[in-house]
Amino acid sequence: MKTNSLFYHILQNFPSIFFELIGHPPTETSGYEFQSIEFKDTNQRIDGIFIPAKRTRQPIYFVGIQSQFDEDFYYQFFTEIFLYLDQNKSNRDWFAVAIYPRRLIESVVPRPYQWLIESDHIKRFYLDELGLIANQSLGLGMLKLLVEDEAKAQQRAEYLIHQIQQLTFSKEQPNWEELMTTILAYKFPKLGIQELTQMFELNNLRQSKLYQEAKTEGKLETVPLLLELGLSVERIAQELHLDLIEVKEAAKELANQETTLE
């Protein structure tokens, strides 16, 4: 599973984490809906936007998550924001939030946008710099876990699992457990199901929907090699226990890439 996909899943299903991150009360989530929006007649889209209820005066929040260096990030991010405001003729106040795993991968802010960065409309967060606040919040602790190195990740995961186990009578406990197992699968890709289960004493890893998606994506990455070895898409689907349509799509994507290279 790609890092950005995991980030956006967290924001969509645990919006309170976002509002905690920007210093707002988690209860503020009740007035918002998280969406990804594609613009008409363009190839651009905003991957994350918190849209307030129509009858409220709350501002719009645009979210940009950058997991790797991209020198054009701010050009694209601000272009998408102003396209949205133009197409929707919004008269609301707005704020933009850029989230980075670490400061080192942030690109230089282009001069035309320096004034925005210096205003209170833009906030930038570096997850590896969350510090003590990540120990005081289950949600922010999850974000910090995403960027921890393997040695620290195990210690933080055990701490977060203990916090989840304290939510004995909470309806949210199963959701937190599923998110945790998914993050663990992402952080420890070399470990199998049994190893992860034994290490962290979590029994719902197989049932985690996102974990299954992550494992499927990993299997699909082997399709090109198996095709080169002469296996048919039907045989590959059978051997990897994948849907035949998924394998055909992976083979089609590979063929398109080879055509582009030619």
For 77-88, what is each residue's pLDDT tens digit?
999 999 899 888
Does residue 48 sit in the same domain as residue 77? yes
Report the alpha-carbon angle 103-108-111, nearest 5: 145
Which pLDDT score, from 0 to 100, does residue 218 have? 64
Q: Is residue 216 part of a domain?
A: no
Q: Is residue 141 part of a domain?
A: no
Q: Is residue 186 part of a domain?
A: yes
Does residue 107 sit in the same domain as residue 10? yes
Structural domain containing residue 239: 221-261
Does residue 26 sit in the same domain as residue 110? yes
Q: Is residue 199 part of a domain?
A: yes
Strand positions, DSSP E, the chain: 32-38, 45-52, 60-65, 94-100, 122-126
Does residue 167 sit in the same domain as residue 111? no
**Mind listing the pLDDT tens digit for each residue in 55-102?**
788 999 999 988 889 999 999 999 999 989 988 888 889 999 999 999
Q: Is residue 213 part of a domain?
A: no
Which pLDDT score, from 0 to 100, does residue 208 have? 53
Instruction: Kindly state the percentage of the chain with pLDDT values over 90.
Output: 26
Residue 194 pLDDT level (bands cut at 50, 70, 90): low
pTM: 0.72
Q: Is residue 20 part of a domain?
A: yes
Instruction: Kindly state the percentage of the chain with pLDDT values over 70.
Output: 84
Which pLDDT score, from 0 to 100, does residue 205 have? 47
The H helix count followed by the E strand count for the chain is: 12, 5
Q: Is residue 16 part of a domain?
A: yes
Q: Which long-range contacts (CB under 8 A, 24 or more apart) does 180-184 make?
A: 180/142, 181/205, 181/208, 181/211, 182/1, 182/6, 182/9, 182/208, 182/210, 182/211, 182/214, 183/6, 183/142, 183/145, 183/146, 183/157, 184/157
> Which of 135, 169, 194 is the endpoint of a domain?
135
d(CA 42, CA 160): 42
Q: Is the pLDDT of residue 260 over 60?
A: no
**Mind listing the pLDDT tens digit for each residue in 203-239?**
554 455 545 555 666 677 777 767 776 778 888 888 7
> Which of 75, 102, 135 is the endpoint of a domain?
135
Which of 20-29, 74-83, 140-149, 221-230 has the lowest average pLDDT? 221-230
Average pLDDT, the chain: 81
Does residue 31 sit in the same domain as residue 131? yes
Does residue 128 sit in the same domain as residue 11? yes
Q: Is the pLDDT of residue 159 over 80?
A: yes
Residue 248 CA, distance from chain mean position: 26
Number of structural domains, the chain?
3
> Which of 112, 135, 158 is the endpoint of a domain?
135
Does residue 20 sit in the same domain as residue 127? yes
Does residue 99 sit in the same domain as residue 165? no
Does residue 227 sit in the same domain as residue 178? no
Which pLDDT score, from 0 to 100, does residue 169 have? 73
- Taking residues 233-260, what's their average pLDDT? 74
Q: Is residue 18 part of a domain?
A: yes
Which pLDDT score, from 0 to 100, does residue 1 have? 40
Closest to 183 in 3D by CA, of 196, 194, 169: 196
Which pLDDT score, from 0 to 100, does residue 63 have? 94
Q: Is the pLDDT of residue 9 over 70?
A: yes
Does residue 181 sit in the same domain as residue 78? no
Does residue 46 sit in the same domain as residue 126? yes
Does residue 9 sit in the same domain as residue 44? yes
